[in-house]
Structure formats: structure tokens, C-alpha cells
Structure 1
């Protein structure tokens, strides 16, 4: 079958399923119609996936375990597997929609709206626009809320640093040296395993879940990464590789804290 050209008419607010058969769906090569002057390769995509989730949240791993206790340690691995599967389903669904709607790339809300709009049941399809806006709102709450958390973490850290100092100063103390000093004290002066709590309360466990998911999730960047890849078929490998590295780094931080 000839390669299908990208028709006009499909897009935001007007999504259409142009593939009536599986053969027509498979015939559309969405990568061919992408305009990426500098597409990313495998290594660059893995780096973006890691950076999308690796931030201040991973440094709060010991606080998360303090909330839930040592019994929650296996949950970090389980959360990583679960989130990887969810992100894989998201991107795989987006690639199916690329072929069905004859669109070469989509944003996160685009995927949600297109999936609803192309649903065979009209009573579901009519909510496509409302679903799109609800996704936009949830993403804003998630990302802006994360930024607000960083401000609180910075403010609290500065308070702990200067509250008992009459004349605080950071003159001459470079950021690299601060990181090295932090790692040194983390390895030398942390408590031992004895005395650490095994379990806590149910409410604290939910706090642990929120902190752990926050420190490993990259849901807001997976679609942009896929859209800019030179070979999007390699995205599952990118996703798994990035998630394994993030889980390993989280356990490294916990090990530095003797947890």
C-alpha cells in the first residue's frame, strides 16, 4: 500500500480517525512527516528522561522512608515498575493515535483529547474538549506545585543553616564544595540501621508514596522526548534505561543515609 500523505483537518478540536482498517493504520509513517532539525538519539533521550525526574525530590528519599519506615523499601522498586508501565502505555497509545489521526506528533493534552474524540461511542467522544482542559489543569497543578515545593525546601534549608549563626556568610564557598561536604557528612555521621523504625502510620505511608512518586516520575516530559527522537521506535528502551538509572540513584541516596 502506498505511503499515506498527511491530510489536513485532523487536529485540536477536530480529531478524526482516518484509518478504517489495521492495514491503513500501519501504512502511515508518522516519523516521515516530523520536522526535527536536530533529532535526539538514544543517549540524549535517556539523559532527558533522567533529568525530567531527577531533581530535588530524589534528595528527599530519606525523608520519605522516615515517614513510612523500612518496610516500605521494596515499594520503591514496585513504584518504578508501575510508573514505567504506565508511561509505556501512554506513549504506545500516542503512537497508535499518530497513525489513526494522521498527525506526526502530539502534546500530552492532545493525546487525551484525540483518544476521547476518536472513541466509537458518541456519548464519550463529546467530552473530548472537556477532558483536554482537565488534563491541562492537572498538569499545571502538578508542575507548579512541584516548583512551590522547591521554594519551601530552599527556604527551610537556609533557615536551618543561618538560624543559630550571628553573622552568616557563604563568601568563598563554592557550590561544588557544598556538595562534597554534604556527601562527606552523609557518609560519616549518619545513624546506623539499629533504632530505625520498621513501620509507622497509614497516613505517613501515603506521604511516603507521594514523595517516592515525585522523585521518580517524568510523566510531563515523556511525550516531548518521543516527539523529538530520531527513531521513536526505540522509546521503550529509552524509558526502561532511564527508569533503571533513576531507581538505582534513589537507592544510592538511601544507602548514603544508611537506610
Structure 2
């Protein structure tokens, strides 16, 4: 059976105490971390490895194109600010989940259950929205994580095509079909802890690959086109969606903290989250700035597609990234499987008396792989996929909901500074969601218009 990383049960997992009303504030003596019973908990290093692997994927390779949309100076400043914003919101989310567990006197709550608890504890006018809120969070989580998987399929296929086209040209959709069976097989691995060694290997390959990419960016022939330092308001929403997609591993963060042997180490000033995010933001700034200086306005959806064609070292790094992202697919598909299985499918099967739970569970995993494959084949636009899912899902999951949860869990105390801060965060999230989603959708529609399709084909032919 899989690790008990997340649960949407509201009943206590300890016999010592009974659940209390969300309105009561007598839970100071209850520490959810001390009551967690995990089959295969991860240590601090394993958790950091997973966090890095989730954030060092296609997002960092799309940073040069993001900088092309924002301008060099704006990109550097905005990436640092976005990193601070995202890290703070992740801290808020983890603290809110912990506070919700204390109120219910339970060791573990999933993101949706914690959000429902926050609404139940908030102003009376919002308490009736607790269940719809939990379902909404589930929908965003599933859509976001499956969106990542779609992005990964397109990325792997695009990069394999760049290598193989030197010998035999095939449509990118054929490459997607070729990798489908291995993806399904890898996604059948049932335990997050079993994925940890693969994740560690993928991290090494990613870091080595990034080093080689930086080498090409520093030593290769750079574009002579003048740099855009400030960008434009028209394309900035696409940058915002890309940076959110790249930095915010919100679905995995909750799961990782819930599955830690020492969860208090996750949110310390020098803990797992701050350490990982600092390293990640610095890498993103470096790769984004260097990649943009190298390509300027001709940056591809992934910087690997701009490496010299036919160069043995470039080919090696492309293959390394394809393998690393392949491994990451299994980790990211873990979250929607958990959400759909524990929250919806398993309760329905138990109520119906089904005795084929294992068949259904593996059937769910296979079905999600097939779904992401079909979506990737339908819209094989890597960069726009990244911007769309970043703006749509992560503005809500990574900014809006954590801000609401923190405020509602403080009700009726409502500290004014905290309330003001959360209102500002919520506004930032809503603006990013609406502007980023609209811009990405318009760009996707335009990319399928005849002139854009011809330009897209010419670009691949040039590569």
C-alpha cells in the first residue's frame, strides 16, 4: 500500500482525545506532529531531495523564454520577489494545515480538508462553503498535477525529437506514443519512498545537465540582438504564469511535510523549505538571465532545444533531462492518484462492497496516464501549457487559498496586520489568475492559427 501522506478523514487517528468543535480554542496541548503514525516516513534529506526534484524540472528550462517575455532586469527582480512570495505562501499553507489539525485534534489533514476546516472556523457567512471549498481545492490540485504531467510528456517528446531528427524525422506525437508505455509502467510504482532513489538519480542528472547547459550559455555564440531590459505589460502575465509553475510545488509540499519523520524541521528558518527554495530561486535567476542573453527573443519553450544540433555533449544533456523528467512524471502523478483514490474512488468502492480495490487503483493510475497523453497530443505547446497551468491553478492553490485559510483560522481574533497582508496576497493571486489564464488561452488559440502554425513548423525546422 502507498504511504499515508495525505488523508481527508476528519476523525482522529489517536484514541487519546476526541475531535473538538472548530470554534473551540482549547487545543494548545495537542501537537499533531507527535501523533502521526506513518508506515514509511522520509527523513530531512529525502524530503529535500523530493522538493528539489519537483522544482528543478521543465520550469527552470523555460526560464530563458520567461525572461524574453519580461525583460532582463524585470525578470531578475520579479523572479526573486516571486520566490519570496511563493516561499511565504508555502509557509502559510503548512502553518494553516497544522493549525487546522490542532483544532480538530487529528495528526494529518490533506490540503482540501484543511481548507474546509478553515472555512468552518471562519466568519459565519462562509461556513456553508466548507465542503464546496474542499472539492474546489481537489479540482485545482488534480488539474494542476495532471497539467504538469502533460507538460512533461510534451517536454520529453520535444527533446527526444531534437535528438532523433538528426537520423530520422518523425512527428512529435509519434514520440509521445513511443514513451507512453514506459510512462505507464513507471507510474505503477506504488510508494513515494520507493521513488526516492529514482528521484535522487534524477536530481544528480538535472544538476549535471544544468551545469552543462550553463557551460553552453557562457561559451557558445550569443545572439547579437539587443536585449530588452524591461519587457512589456502585454507579455508579463505569461512570465508570471511560468514563474509560478516553476516555483510552486504546492501539491507535493503538503504531501512531503505530512510524510516527514521530523515535520517541525520543514518550516524552520534554516529548514527544508527555506533551504530548498533559496537554492531553487538562485538557480532560476542564473539560468533565466544567461539563457535570455544567449538567445534573446529567439528562446524556445525549453533552453535544451536551443543547444547546438548534433553536438555530442548537447545530445547527452538533452537525453539526461529527458530521463530526469521521465522520473519526475511518476512523482507528480502520485498526488492526483492520492486525491482521487482516497477522496472519491475508495469510499465509493467500499460503500459498494467491491473486493477488487487493487485492480481499481492500478486502473486509475493507467487512466490518468492515458488522459495526460491525450491532452499533450491535443495541445503540444510546451511554453503555453506551462504559463496556463501556472496562472490558473497555482495562483489559486499557492496564493489565494493559503491567504484565506490563514485569516479564517485566526477568526474571530482577526489581527489587523495579518488580515491586511492576507487581503493583499489574495488580490495578487486573483489578478495573476485572471490575467495569466486569459493571456495564455489567447496565445494558445493564436498558436493554432495558420500563420502561427507555419511559424511553429519553421522554428522546429530551424532547430
Structure 1 length as normaliser, TM-score? Answer: 0.80
Residue of structure 2 in register with 1:145 after alignment: 147
Q: 1:17 aligns with which of 18, 21, 24?
A: 21
Residue of structure 1 in register with 2:78 after alignment: 75
Size of the aligned set, in residue pairs, is 240
Question: Where in structure 2 are the equivalents of 1:220-235 lying within 5 Å?
Answer: 220-235=251-266
Residue of structure 2 in register with 1:96 after alignment: 99
Q: 1:86 aligns with which of 85, 89, 93?
A: 89
**Which whole-Å deviations, capped at 9, do the CAs of 1:200-251 have from their partners, x for residues lacking one?**
3322111111111111111111211221222222221221111101112213
Aligned: 1:187 with 2:225:
no
Q: Tell me how far apart the structure 1 counterparts of residues 167 and 99 of structure 2 sit (CA, whole Å).
A: 62
Residue of structure 1 in register with 2:280 after alignment: 246
Using a 3 Å threshold, how does the CA distance of structure 1 residues 66 and 240 change in structure 2: closer, same or farther? same
Residue of structure 2 in register with 1:172 after alignment: none
Using a 3 Å threshold, how does the CA distance of structure 1 residues 213 and 190 change in structure 2: closer, same or farther? farther
Highest RCO, 1 vs 2 (Cα 8 Å, sep ≥ 6): 1
Using a 3 Å threshold, how does the CA distance of structure 1 residues 18 and 212 change in structure 2: closer, same or farther? closer
Using a 3 Å threshold, how does the CA distance of structure 1 residues 102 and 166 change in structure 2: closer, same or farther? closer
Aligned: 1:199 with 2:230:
yes
Using a 3 Å threshold, how does the CA distance of structure 1 residues 185 and 4 change in structure 2: closer, same or farther? same
Q: Tell me how far apart the structure 2 counterparts of residues 41 and 166 of structure 1 sit (CA, whole Å).
A: 45
Unaligned ranges ≥5, structure 1: 11-15, 170-174
**Which whole-Å deviations, capped at 9, do the CAs of 1:135-182 have from their partners, x for residues lacking one?**
11111221112222223333444455555x46469xxxxx97x94865
Contact kept in structure 2, 1:6 and 1:33, CA below 8 Å: no
Q: CA deviation at 1:19?
A: 7.0
Contact kept in structure 1, 2:68 and 2:292, CA below 8 Å: no
SS in 1 for 2:81: helix
SS in 2 for 1:105: coil
SS in 1 for 2:28: helix
Q: 1:115 aligns with which of 114, 118, 139?
A: 118
Q: Tell me how far apart the structure 1 counterparts of residues 274 and 213 of structure 2 sit (CA, whole Å).
A: 30
- Range 199-208 or range 209-218, more displaced: 199-208
Contact kept in structure 1, 2:22 and 2:121, CA below 8 Å: no
Q: Tell me how far apart the structure 1 counterparts of residues 212 and 260 of structure 2 sit (CA, whole Å).
A: 38
RMSD (CA atoms): 3.0
More helix by share: 2
Contact kept in structure 2, 1:193 and 1:258, CA below 8 Å: no
Unaligned ranges ≥5, structure 2: 1-13, 171-201, 294-463
- Range 194-203 or range 93-102, more displaced: 194-203
